[in-house]
Amino acid sequence: MVPVVELNDIAHVYVTDREASLAVEGIHLKVEPGEFVSLVGPSGCGKTTILSVIAGLLQPSKGAAYVNGDPIYGPSPEVGYMLQQDYLFPWRTIMDNALIGLELTERLNPESRSAVQNLLREMGLGDSGNLYPSQLSGGMRQRVALVRTLATDPGLLLLDEPFSALDYQTKLQLEDLIVETLKERGKTAILVTHDLSEAIAMSDRVILLNRNPGRIHRLFDIPENIRRAQPFFARKEPGFNELFHEIWGEMQTIGKE
């Protein structure tokens, strides 16, 4: 099976007027279809840099990067990107915000519009289509951002700290909703998060990066019982706390390096 993402020996140097700094180096990664993978590690270890390479927003200084077996040359409709901020347009209704990707890719038609209406309904936003973003809570807005991302039906979703601006309860609810929605549709996902418990609860695999420069420190396969549970209940599964402490312990050693 062709991996959805393949990174071969990726390195990236950011060059500014004053200096060149090596952000990541020697990154090898394969993400298989339907897999949910999280990237965790200390601030500055290169999580967003890696996502930007996969999103086609950043050309790496070294190495080869592929999505579905094709070299990445730029942003692709196969890849959806969801960020910490929802970036909804305040002057457009919820429905019109959700449709924007379809409009831009010239795929808006009665069928795709009706699919978006169904997605809004699934996300509990069926009655909100005519409202404006300012009339919605943060959690509702992030659900609209998820609908907007899914509307164009990308096979791969990149999730860059999508819950970090939300209150704890909303964040737990959205974790469950996102995992369920993506699994149902067979999507592949890469999540960047600072919340280790979230990473373990949502993922099939957690990738711990170290820094200066960012490299893959260790990969953790999440045990079956935790993977099968909804993220909220996964935290109560046998083995969850032990795994949390194991990864946490490794993170502390990285922090001291």
The footprint of ligand ATP (CB under 6 A) covers 14, 16, 21, 23, 43-49, 214
| Residue 21 C-beta: closest distance to ligand ATP, Å | 6
Smaller CB distance to ligand ATP: residue 84 or 93? 84
Contact 203, 178 (CB under 8 A): no
Using the minimum distance from each CB to ligand ATP, give the nearer residue, 158 or 234: 158
CB of 16 to ligand ATP, least distance (A): 5
Single-letter code of the amino acid located at 167: D
Q: Which is nearer to ligand ATP, 84 or 170 (CB)?
A: 84
Residue 7 C-beta: closest distance to ligand ATP, Å: 14
Q: How far is the CB of 161 from ligand ATP (least distance, A)?
A: 7
- Rounded to a whole number of angstroms, the minimum distance from the CB of residue 47 to ligand ATP is 4
Pick between residue 46 and residue 101 the one whose CB is nearest to ligand ATP.
Answer: 46
The CA distance from 194 to 165, in Å, is: 12
* Nearest-angstrom CA–CA distance, 95 and 136: 13
Taking the CB of residue 25, how many other CB atoms lie within 10 A of it? 18
Nearer to ligand ATP, 41 or 80 (CB): 41
The sheet that has 215-221: what strands, in order across it? 79-82, 156-160, 188-192, 36-40, 205-210, 215-221
Nearest to 159 by CA among 80, 67, 66, 58: 80
